[in-house]
Amino acid sequence: MIVKSLLTEKNPFNSTAELREWIERRNKEVTVQVKQIPFAEMDKWYSKEDGSLHHESGRFFSIIGIDVQTDYGYINHWRQPIINQPEVGYLGILTKEIDGILYCLMQAKIEPGNVNCVQISPTLQATKSNYSRVHSGKSPNYLEYFVNAKSENIILDQLQSEQGARFLRKRNRNIIIKVDEDIEVLPDFKWMTLGQIKELMHYDNLVNMDTRTVLSGLKISDYVSPLDDLKNISEYGKGWLLSSTTNHAYINMREHLSWLTNLKSKYDLHVKTCPINEMPGWIKNDMEIVREDGKFFKIIGVNVTISNREVSNWCQPLVQPMQDGICAFIVKKIHGIYHFLVQAKLECGNFDVMELAPTVQCLTGNAEKAVIKPLFYDYVINAPKCQVLIDALQSEEGGRFYHEQNRNLLIEADDDFPLDVPDNYTWMTLNQMYDFLKFNNYLNIQARSIISALNYK
């Protein structure tokens, strides 16, 4: 059922071309206005004396300052603003088996910070403040299916982290449920196969971050049976299946766990709140919280009007990056099995010091100008087309970030690429990465985003 869905792009409800046209059409039809305004004019928001920004309900999220100290890396002490959103939200996909194929009910959802406004979203995408109706708006569609889900209907249920450099210890409940009853397909929702969604991930900014993180948790090899017809799997697809099933790896899981435990024990990460008004190198004026050197990101205030949301008009802060980013995995066949070059990356908002990240994860503008470039950056940027397996611009979460997108890359290493790597890197099979994915706060959202795009056709 799941494997058939993965290998099926012929959809009697909507062809892949029709789904692309649908998103393009909705982008033209929906009225979206996002206007930057002074912080003082953000309705229902206020600024404390320390410069932090809060919603009058005490819910949703806030922008606070943090003081970070660590003995890892080149920079050991800094201050920055960060999103503090302690509540756990739902990222949920509703599925149904139709004629032996699993279909996902996906939404054309608008977020104020999206590059192209409308993107393919999970069935349900809501913070606790949203579905608790703190905003006095309508309840999210299909919420009741997830709130009342029984264990036998749950395909996937995980708590997973969000961006560790932007959020302070933020997690969401990633959940996929299967229902048997007939489902009313509301406007702005359509049935899609897994194969279609993965195909659409190879286009720029079509499938949103929340969809990618939910689907990254599906280990396809768990659902392969001897009865499955696998003739439509590509050679690369067979390589991913082998990598996700094999117990033969260059480095075993015991060694990986010891490696990661050692790094988490070796380095300290101390994070405490501090006044935004007292962050060296940062300025807060009427319109933004921004670094004096113009690097990394800034905080802006916006007034949003969207025609088809639970609430049609509201104000909020958004994080605006200063340039696009790059997130790339290098993969290499070792003894005939694909291995991913995984980085243990420390970010200030992480729950447990380090998470497993792509080989390269950085802002491109900062990397190009840096005296010391991120490891493997030049290899990824200069890789010939024949080694590039995935290359697409993907948006980050448009409800909190304004026009933030990362170039997601999967690069197959050449034969000369060394197996010996720096201490904070290791080689993992897909099977090993999925073992870490079963648990909270191991694989970061950038790594999950790339894994979700692996296409088996």
pLDDT tens, position by position, 55-69: 999 999 999 999 999
pLDDT of res. 136: 59
What one-letter code names the amino acid at 332? K
pTM higher than 0.85 for the full model? yes
Report the range of poorest mean pLDDT among 41-50, 125-134, 204-213, 267-276: 125-134
Say what percent of the chain tops pLDDT 90: 84
pLDDT of res. 94: 98
Say what percent of the chain tops pLDDT 70: 97
pLDDT of res. 131: 64
pLDDT tens, position by position, 305-314: 987 666 789 9
Residue 232 pLDDT more than 90? no
Residue 366 pLDDT more than 80? no
Residue 47 pLDDT more than 70? yes
When pLDDT is averaged across residues 41-62 and rounded to a whole number, the result is 96
Q: Which domains does the chain have, with CATH numbers?
A: 2-31+88-215 (3.90.79.40), 34-85+270-321 (no CATH), 244-265+323-452 (3.90.79.40)
pLDDT tens, position by position, 426-439: 999 999 999 999 99
Longest dimension (CA), the chain: 65
Residue 134 pLDDT more than 60? no
Residue 133 pLDDT more than 70? no
- Gap between the terminal Cα atoms of the chain: 16
pLDDT of res. 368: 76
pLDDT tens, position by position, 159-186: 999 999 999 999 999 999 999 999 999 9
Residue 135 pLDDT more than 60? no
CA distance 35 to 436: 41
When pLDDT is averaged across residues 263-280 and rounded to a whole number, the result is 97
- Dihedral over alpha carbons 111, 329, 341, 349 (to 10 degrees): -20
